[in-house]
A and B are shown apart, each in its own frame.
Chain A
């Protein structure tokens, strides 16, 4: 049997980054390779390059997110772009009404890249259809959060040296999680094995069709896992609506040392943040030597630099 070398891309073949679905293994490797270099450079004193000099990046957040916005802002600035942050108040129910108007208005200001976070699934894709620039999805409802999956993949790859063949257990609120959907798609593309672990009330319908093995028993789901990825459970979902209490949730689905012992001895512990210590993850586990939660934050900046860098050659040059 002849081994075919994986295709090496010289250019990222997409105008936008909206979803992990549809990204191929070469696409993902291309971004991770770029991010790897960015991560190394970010540890030096001079972090700045001028790849995006003269370009304008707008961070358009319809939903507040300090960490993701800061990460994108740093990424843009380290590549030399002018970065503008916009937090659009989104308390009113009518917020969707102005989405296309907002897009058209911003487009008239001639940005080169717009980074968008929105509470409604599909909103970023809709916005991308109305503008001339590149659009990066920084999270849309329960749909996708591609840069999170990329930074998770980079963190795993740097720690384990590979993605293919690893068993990754994603545990928590799968139903409402864009992080889970993005990670499942990306890890499948990279030939990792994905498990999801959650109570049935926090699983979407037909979860197996996403390309993951489904467990409702965390002890079984963690068996021999290489990576344990915990998800945040929002407080309002612990009051009896989806799970009876945070106490019961922690007992059955919180990551403590006892459950962690089911995973491989060198299993990585991950969390996209912000963490609810004592709800989905025990404090001592979060600060465990195998925890790479802080690395994830560091890789976040690198991955976002890689994404902006990868999209820039596809921007109009004239």
Chain B
């Protein structure tokens, strides 16, 4: 699983002119478990040195940044980001998404192929890479569609797409209903060691639904989809993986039963993993009350018991990664009657501060939490980044764990403002984001206190 892929063009950024040293930091490397005071030296876009010996002593000629005891950790890798490029640039472009990412401490984002046209051909993978190279300020990788047009029928050119740089294969927001197609995709992808990422939701059970099935849906008079619609597909896929031996990742699970299936599959030694969206870790179906369409996401927000199960899955490590599932939608498609409103929530910029809720509540340890957003997605996707160690790419973030703030959706950098966390009180924010040694974001509110010593 730790195979690496070659760097796409946009990772080959110009190295920073001046070496930089970050003193007086709390170094956290989720891979090794390192959590200690120290410093970090950045040169030529790489981490040239790291450790307690750099806590106060700056190497000759380096620009010095005093971290004031704040956390210095790897930049986040967000494995599920939807944008509107190409085709729906009014929702989001790679450029605007990357700015939101930088402000949220996300240094690598993986964009999904649910665009117009769908990313199902080599030329389109190339298009994303070129657009990202020219416009994005963070690393961008793309997943490619595993069936043509995401229609769930005909397999795409998985081998060629992978060679062109597609980091994984997915059917985006839709689930493959046809079991024969799914088996063939898994079987074929195995020959290229391609990772299959699947949105698990039985399309028949979810066809008319706009929220989770349960008391809230009953009260609101909305059609609901039960969690079993997800678990059935996860279970089916796992059984297929058992036959084919492929690498499989359930993109966002939402309930305890699905987690049980994944846990059991892992125990049987299958190359199976799963993710969860930040929304399903911190929100539940009650948030939908009042027909609040900013909380309409897919899969839908679940019962509080399922949210608790997801949090425990992160704490135990049974859930591998956390994604933002950033899905920008404009006001026109959100300000509609609930059942007709678009799914999706913007989440890149709030991913880390919202995730910190789980740390502040005592539910998940800090290193464990960061693991699910750094080294775990790196391993899953075969990336070098996501680690804080000598020789690694200097994708680094500086985080104040405690600064309190209130989200104002109009100040978010994403082109669409459909944040379910609008007006939420959060604790902790990103002070600085470095991509390959370059500062791509710096929190203005703390600019003074971050000035060079």
Q: Please measure, in the bound complex, the distance between the C-alpha atom of A210 and the C-alpha atom of B214, giving whole angstroms.
A: 11
A295 CB, min distance to chain B CBs, angstroms: 27
B interface, how many residues as a size bin? Answer: 20 to 34
Contact A121 B220 (CB under 8 A): yes
Answer whether residue B154 sits at the interface, using C-beta atoms and an 8 A cutoff. no
Answer whether residue B291 sits at the interface, using C-beta atoms and an 8 A cutoff. yes
Contact B218 A99 (CB under 8 A): no
Answer whether residue A178 sits at the interface, using C-beta atoms and an 8 A cutoff. yes
Contact A122 B217 (CB under 8 A): no
Contact A209 B215 (CB under 8 A): yes
B221 CB, min distance to chain A CBs, angstroms: 3
Would A140 and B221 be within 8 Å (CB), given that A122-B337, A205-B215, A209-B215 are in contact? yes
Residues of A192-208 at the interface with B, using a CB-CB cut-off of 8 Å, are 204-207
Contact A210 B337 (CB under 8 A): no
Q: Please measure, in the bound complex, the distance between the C-alpha atom of A181 and the C-alpha atom of B218, giving whole angstroms.
A: 9
Q: Please measure, in the bound complex, the distance between the C-alpha atom of A317 and the C-alpha atom of B302, giving whole angstroms.
A: 45
Q: Count A interface residues, CB 8 Å.
A: 26
Closest partner residue, chain B, to A94 (CB atom): B340
Would A205 and B213 be within 8 Å (CB), given that A121-B220, A142-B221, A143-B221 are in contact? yes
Contact A205 B224 (CB under 8 A): yes
Contact A96 B337 (CB under 8 A): yes
Answer whether residue B336 sits at the interface, using C-beta atoms and an 8 A cutoff. yes
Closest partner residue, chain A, to B332 (CB atom): A97
Q: CB-defined interface of A91-104 with B at 8 Å, one 1/0 digit per residue?
A: 00001110110000
B293 CB, min distance to chain A CBs, angstroms: 9
**A144 CB contact (under 8 Å) in B214, B221, B339:** B221
Contact B339 A120 (CB under 8 A): yes
**A210 CB contact (under 8 Å) in B219, B222, B224, B335:** B219
Contacts of B332 in A (CB 8 A): 97
Answer whether residue A118 sits at the interface, using C-beta atoms and an 8 A cutoff. yes
Q: Please measure, in the bound complex, the distance between the C-alpha atom of A116 and the C-alpha atom of B31, giving whole angstroms.
A: 58
Contacts of A178 in B (CB 8 A): 221
Contacts of B223 in A (CB 8 A): 142
Answer whether residue B82 sits at the interface, using C-beta atoms and an 8 A cutoff. no
20 interchain pairs, CB-CB under 8 A: A96-B337, A97-B340, A100-B335, A120-B338, A120-B339, A121-B291, A121-B339, A122-B220, A122-B337, A122-B338, A123-B337, A126-B335, A126-B337, A141-B337, A142-B222, A142-B223, A178-B221, A205-B224, A206-B218, A209-B218
Extra contacts, 9 of them, besides A122-B339, A205-B217 (Cβ < 8 A), are: A96-B340, A96-B341, A97-B340, A120-B339, A122-B220, A126-B291, A140-B221, A205-B214, A210-B218
> Which residues of B pack against A, CB within 8 Å?
213-215, 217-224, 226, 290-291, 332, 335-341
By Cβ-Cβ distance, the 9 closest A-B pairs, closest first, are A143-B221, A122-B291, A120-B337, A96-B340, A142-B221, A123-B337, A204-B218, A121-B221, A96-B336
> Which residues of A pack against B, CB within 8 Å?
21, 95-97, 99-100, 118, 120-123, 125-126, 140-144, 178, 181, 204-207, 209-210
